[in-house]
């Protein structure tokens, strides 16, 4: 939530900052702002609405040339998304400009204190108090780095702060606690960003920062300390993707591009994770085989789409390993005082690696001595850094706010984990594991088949443009697919959509069925006779009550034909792997319907890509 950019070097700061904000806009798009240092004073501009509004404002009234600056794209927490509440915020004498991502929890007390001392605060934000505090600290002597350290020691909550001091055009200073920040290391220039997309155009060398650290960048140097000023070290890494991955590449939306990247993303997620003979090798699982054998319970924590990946994982993990597996929303987890021991494996699934709810869940789990394994897409992010082990999903940057390739590769990582546990614990024979691995290797080609058939789904979307409500039904591993189909439609098309386990219909939801209500039905493969047949009965029941059925069923499954108003064939895969193919038409459908309705697919209203506040 919120995108932050900082720059010092030789280029025009306004260009670097605006370009960085464009690449980070998916993190928040309520308002945007920029500040640069111009001959001992701060020049800044900020505008409510999308970045385009700010760009227009600075095209009409250009900012002065400067080689140092910062910028922000906002997802509002404190105060409405208007011009005044937009960042940057300035100190009382306009000496300091500061941007912030997160929530300062003790801001009310600090605001009272500032007002008692004669400060005039212009906005409703928690951020402005940090700008005033840093400036007040500078007035007491010292430099921006030490002022930032002092102020951070007083702040509670989650924050990434980036600041500049009009009287010191050599440095940009930033700090982080519980919110993301990375440094981009260039030649004669350095960068700060909420993630590497902010500076990927200029450098792929990055520095990951730890918790409670302050970083000072100048043209030629990067210095890291803790909040007490003691020297600290960041972790350097090379970003393994480049600018092309952060561009739309001819697609209308990042989301559509990311849907079509899924065959490659899934192949990359599988790459190097098994031998030719199908023996799993997950080098990043830094928990010993002995410890994995002692695991007596798995708890998956995640939010939103990632939680649905966890629901799919539960079916696979319990089936392959016979270890009880629960799936829980991260934000519910720690508040129910869960029973955890050192033999509990907590699996945190997070595309961004920054979701505050999931981060707090794993901190709680580690505090109770459970082992934590992260499944994550973002190198250098906080959740894997604070976990005992990590399986990276290797999907490449996901920029569309609605998760697509992130979801598929999370499921792949979960399957790999389940098979690895089965291998280590001997709950499946080697040839059984190898046979699942062979099926997984075929998935990229299956997804491609689904994508090649996208016109069928696009035509369907055209016919459902005026739908007021859409339901999704599934059973077993198809149930989380139904939930995911509904979530995609809600967040992109803003229409009422709900996913149900088909068996639950008769316990209430069937009352919603009325003439022509569109219902997507994910039918399990025929191999699982009982499940398959029960799903067919459910389809018959809703059709008898007037529903318009859109049936996703295995190619060649003629039993469904009489009950399908629209039939979408799925490649033949084992039941447990069916979510990997069944979700593709649901992603395409939501993307296409939202496009037809004229919505911004990449930046749906009220949302932000990475939810860094609880
Ligand atoms: C929906 C979506 C969200 C995320 C959720 C968790 O399309 O993207 O529901 O899945 O906010 O985010 P991560 O995986 O980054 O923890």
| For residue 527, pLDDT beyond 80 | no
Please give the CATH topology (third level) of the domain spanning 3-246.
3.60.20
Read off the pLDDT of each residue in 105-110 and give the average, rounded to a whole number.
94
Q: What confidence tier does 242 reach under pLDDT thresholds 50, 70, 90? A: confident
Identify the residue whose C-alpha is closest to ligand 1 atom 10: 305
Candidates 3.40.640.10, 3.20.20.370, 3.40.50.720, 3.40.50.10490; CATH matching 454-596: 3.40.50.10490
Rounded CA separation 560/532 (Å): 10
Q: How confident is the prediction for the chain on average, in pLDDT? A: 95
Read off the pLDDT of each residue in 500-506 and give the average, rounded to a whole number.
95
| For residue 28, pLDDT beyond 90 | no
Burial class (CB in 10 A: 0-12, 13-18, 19+), 449: middle
Q: Which tokens hold the place of 150?
A: 């002092």
Q: Which tokens hold the place of 16?
A: 């670097």
Atom of ligand 1 nearest to the CA of 378: 15
| For residue 371, pLDDT beyond 90 | yes
| For residue 238, pLDDT beyond 70 | yes
Rounded CA separation 222/237 (Å): 14
**Ligand 1 test: best mutation among 255, 306, 381, most atoms within 8 Å of CB?**
306
Q: What confidence tier does 528 reach under pLDDT thresholds 50, 70, 90? A: low
Among 94-103, 378-387, 580-589, whose mean pLDDT is lowest? 378-387
pLDDT, tens digit, 9 for 90 and up, residues 61-97? 999 999 999 999 998 887 888 999 999 999 999 999 9
Pocket of ligand 1 (CB under 6 A): 303-306, 350-352, 355, 358, 402-403, 487, 491, 610-611
Q: What is the pLDDT of residue 529?
A: 64
| For residue 169, pLDDT beyond 80 | yes
Domain locations in the chain? 3-246, 254-449, 454-596
> What spacing in Å lies between the alpha carbon of 79 and ligand 1's midpoint?
24
Q: HEC string of 586-613? A: HHHHHHHHHHHCCCCCCCCCCCCCCCCC
pLDDT, tens digit, 9 for 90 and up, residues 428-484? 999 999 999 999 999 999 999 999 999 999 999 999 999 999 999 999 999 999 999
Read off the pLDDT of each residue in 297-314 and give the average, rounded to a whole number.
98
Domains 3-246 and 254-449 share a fold: no
Burial class (CB in 10 A: 0-12, 13-18, 19+), 130: buried
CATH of domain 254-449: 3.40.50.10490
Among 37-46, 276-285, 363-372, 532-541, whose mean pLDDT is lowest? 276-285
268 Cβ contact partners less than 8 Å away, ≥ 6 residues apart? 394, 395, 396, 409
71 Cβ contact partners less than 8 Å away, ≥ 6 residues apart? 4, 5, 17, 18, 20, 21, 32, 33, 34, 35, 88, 99
Atom of ligand 1 nearest to the CA of 306: 10
Read off the pLDDT of each residue in 251-261 and give the average, rounded to a whole number.
96
| For residue 241, pLDDT beyond 90 | no
Q: How many CA atoms lie within 13 A of 82 on its CB side?
A: 7
């Amino acid at each position: 939530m919120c995108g932050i950019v900082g720059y010092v070097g030789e280029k025009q700061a306004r260009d670097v900052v605006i370009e960085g904000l464009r690449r980070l806009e998916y993190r928040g798009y309520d308002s945007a702002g920029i500040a640069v240092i111009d001959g001992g004073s701060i020049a800044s501009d900020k505008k409510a609405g999308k970045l385009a509004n700010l760009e227009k404002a600075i095209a009409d009234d250009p900012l002065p040339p400067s080689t140092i600056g910062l910028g922000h794209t906002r997802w509002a927490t404190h105060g409405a998304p208007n011009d005044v509440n937009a960042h940057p915020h300035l100190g009382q004498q306009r000496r300091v400009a500061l941007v912030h991502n997160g929530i300062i929890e003790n801001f009310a007390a600090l605001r009272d204190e500032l007002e008692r001392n004669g400060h005039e605060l212009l906005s409703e934000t928690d951020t402005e108090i940090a700008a005033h505090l840093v400036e007040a600290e500078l007035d007491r002597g010292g430099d921006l780095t030490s002022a930032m350290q002092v102020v951070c020691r007083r702040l509670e909550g989650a924050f990434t702060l980036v600041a500049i001091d009009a009287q010191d055009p050599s440095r940009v200073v930033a700090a982080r606690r519980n919110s993301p920040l990375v440094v981009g290391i260039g030649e004669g220039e350095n960068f700060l960003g909420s993630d590497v997309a902010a500076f990927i155009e200029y450098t792929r060398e990055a520095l990951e920062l730890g918790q409670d650290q302050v970083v000072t960048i100048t043209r030629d140097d990067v210095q890291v300390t803790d909040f007490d000023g003691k020297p600290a070290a960041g972790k350097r890494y090379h970003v393994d993707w480049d600018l092309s991955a952060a561009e739309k590449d001819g697609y209308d939306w990042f989301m559509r591009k990311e849907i079509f990247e899924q065959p490659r993303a899934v192949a990359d997620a599988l790459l190097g994770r098994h031998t030719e003979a199908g023996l799993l090798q997950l080098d990043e699982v830094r928990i010993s085989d002995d410890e994995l054998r002692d695991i007596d319970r798995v708890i998956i924590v995640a939010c939103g789409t990632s939680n649905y990946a966890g629901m799919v994982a539960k079916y696979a993990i319990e089936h392959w390993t016979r270890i009880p597996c629960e799936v829980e929303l991260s934000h519910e987890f720690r508040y129910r005082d869960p029973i955890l021991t050192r033999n509990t494996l907590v699996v945190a699934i997070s595309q961004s690696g920054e979701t505050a709810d999931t981060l707090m869940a794993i901190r709680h789990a580690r505090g109770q001595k459970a082992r934590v394994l992260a499944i994550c897409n973002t190198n250098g992010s906080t959740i894997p850094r604070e976990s005992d082990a990590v399986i990276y999903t290797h999907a490449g940057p996901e920029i569309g706010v609605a998760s697509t390739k992130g979801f598929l590769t999370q499921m792949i990582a979960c399957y790999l984990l389940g098979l690895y546990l089965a291998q280590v614990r001997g709950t499946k024979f080697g040839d059984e594991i190898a046979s699942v691995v062979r099926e997984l290797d075929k998935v990229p080609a299956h997804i491609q088949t689904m994508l090649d058939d996208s016109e069928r789904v696009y035509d369907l979307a055209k016919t459902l443009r005026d739908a007021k409500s859409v339901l999704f039904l599934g059973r077993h591993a198809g149930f989380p697919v139904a939930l995911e189909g509904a979530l995609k439609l809600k967040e992109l098309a803003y229409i009422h959509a709900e996913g149900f386990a088909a068996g639950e219909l008769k316990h209430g939801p069937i009352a919603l069925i009325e003439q022509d209500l569109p219902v997507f039905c994910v039918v399990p493969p025929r191999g699982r006779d009982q499940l398959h047949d029960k799903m067919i009965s459910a389809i018959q029941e809703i059709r008898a009550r007037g529903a318009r059925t859109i049936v996703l069923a295995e190619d060649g499954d003629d039993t469904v034909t009489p009950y399908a108003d629209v039939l979408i064939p799925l490649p033949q895969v084992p039941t447990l792997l069916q979510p990997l193919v069944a979700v593709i038409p649901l992603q395409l459908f939501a993307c296409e319907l939202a496009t037809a309705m004229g919505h911004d697919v990449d930046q749906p209203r009220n949302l932000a890509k990475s939810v860094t506040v609880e």
